[in-house]
Amino acid sequence: MLLLRCLTYKKMRRKIQFFLCCKLIIGTWCNTMDGVTTKANSSEAQFQPNYLADSVNNFGYKLLLKMMEQNKNENIALSPTGIAGLLAMTLLGSVGSTYDELATSLGFSQDILANRNHHEQFGELLQQLNDNETNSKTLYADAMFVDSQTRIRSVFKDYLTTVYHGEARGVNFTQKNEVKQMINEWVKAQTQAKIEDFLKQSLPEATKVVLLSALYFSGQWASPFIPEYTFKMPFKKPEGEVMADLMLNLGDFDYIFSEKDGLHMIALPYNDSTTVMYALKPRLPMKLSLFDLMKKLDYNKIDELINKMNERKAVVRFPKMDLESNVNLDKALKAVGIKSMFSPDEANFALMIDSSDDKKENEVVIRSRFGHEQSRMLKDALNSLPNPGVYVDSVLHNVKITVNEFGTEAVAATAGILARSAEQFYADSPFYIFIRNEKTKLVTFSAVVYDPTI
């Protein structure tokens, strides 16, 4: 959630706070929403297949590594796509170094005109996640709550609605309890009532704008685990071990063992033929830690390994778990290069908030979205807009992940497959998982698990 409010800091500045609510339940259902985006008119920035999805996924992987550095041997759960969606909305309203850093980190363009294509392509990818024709369901949604006295640029609001399908609601932030209830009801609706009290406290009366982003996934395994064979078994942590509920599955799975990289990875598909959970861990965890392994990799390398996977008979032990991660992303975002938006002296959101009555400014803003003049000239004009004096105070991220056996209808078909020649993938020591939508190639959720019992 993006929160703008007034703050006395040297000269008058305003504070922004982000909260990103994401919810993942494996084994149930959710509703979806349809959406249509416009095509970019610019002939620039033609992408290779999956270019933007790969860029967003690389951003999410780098962010996760930084968080692992800062939170050693702790469970971490992220929604790379959800975070990128929120930052893309922020990018829409930024200029100057704030724009440059956000665009670079997300893999968008520094070119103002080419970036229209990036926004529209990303918005289209996000809407493609909302597919209601399968058993597994993914829902991405965003919204903007605007104080009735704050002048949000109409071009920003309209473009946000057209490209990212974000609904805009006018509110009076002096009615603190009512606004809190409205935001919590929105989050509850988008997460299928799995997050009921997102805001624990009311927002300050000086709040100007709230941007919200939510991502929810619910799916059934294509090959369900066998509940009767879920047993308490040792899970080896970096220091000591715990007894965890390890589920059993067996059958034919896409699998790869890379001796060169010291890892093995297995694909656990859902029954929608679109969504897959990939689980990756060191082949010899006593010799190579999960963090050291992941530092040697990046998303592109992992994607190459996925493309080399072959179907193999496998015995899978995987923990039954309920993960919840509540983290502040400030330090990690700064570590990947997004810094100026946190600085009162450098942040600039002049394309989001209209702080003057100069009609020429509005013409410049409109040209940034619909004009065709030289990008460099246009960017210089946008950078000259008066800074409305807002900055980002914090970025809070909440993700919940539940993994269980769910589904026994396929047990009879797989119960006799176990063979001595089968590959063994035992997630009984720290591992990395990520869920990827194979239609869009977006990684919707990812996590590193050091202790599945907490």
| % of residues, the chain, pLDDT over 90 | 40
Q: Indicate if the pLDDT at residue 147 is higher than 90.
A: no
Residue 39: exposed, middle, or buried by beta-carbon count in 10 A (0-12, 13-18, 19+)? exposed
pLDDT for position 383:
74
Domains and CATH numbers, the chain: 2-219+324-398 (3.30.497.10), 227-319+408-449 (2.30.39.10)
End-to-end CA distance of the chain: give it in Å, rounded.
Answer: 26
Mean pLDDT of 2-26: 48
pLDDT tens digits, 162-200: 998 887 788 898 899 998 899 889 888 887 777 777 777
The whole-angstrom separation of Cα 107 and Cα 112 is: 13
- Name the pLDDT band for 419 (thresholds 50, 70, 90): very low
Mean pLDDT across the stretch 300-312? 97
Going by the DSSP 8-state scheme, the letter that residue 444 receives in this structure is E
Q: What's the token pair of residue 335?
A: 């570590």
DSSP-assigned beta bridge partners for residue 170: 146
Asked whether residue 405 carries a pLDDT value surpassing 70, the answer given is yes
DSSP-based three-state secondary structure for 262: coil
**Model confidence at 35: pLDDT above 90:** no
For the cut 80, the answer to whether the pLDDT of residue 348 exceeds it is: yes
Cα distance between residue 381 and residue 95, in whole Å: 10
- pLDDT of 450 over the 60 cut: yes
Give pLDDT, residue 263.
97
Instruction: Tell me the per-residue pLDDT of 104-123, one tens digit each, with 9 for 90 and over.
Output: 999 998 887 788 889 999 99
Rounded percentage of the chain residues whose pLDDT exceeds 70: 79
Give the per-residue pLDDT at 410: 29
pLDDT tens for 60-92 read: 999 999 999 999 999 999 899 989 988 998 898
- Residue with the bigger pLDDT between 130 and 294: it is 294
> Binning pLDDT at 50, 70 and 90, where does residue 362 land?
low
The whole-number pLDDT of residue 258 equals: 95
Considering all CA atoms of the chain, what is the largest pairwise distance in Å, rounded to the nearest integer?
76
Rounded Cα–Cα distance for residues 440 and 140 (Å): 13
Task: Say yes or no to pLDDT of 37 above 80.
Answer: no
Mean pLDDT of 152-171: 85
The average pLDDT across 220-235 equals 92
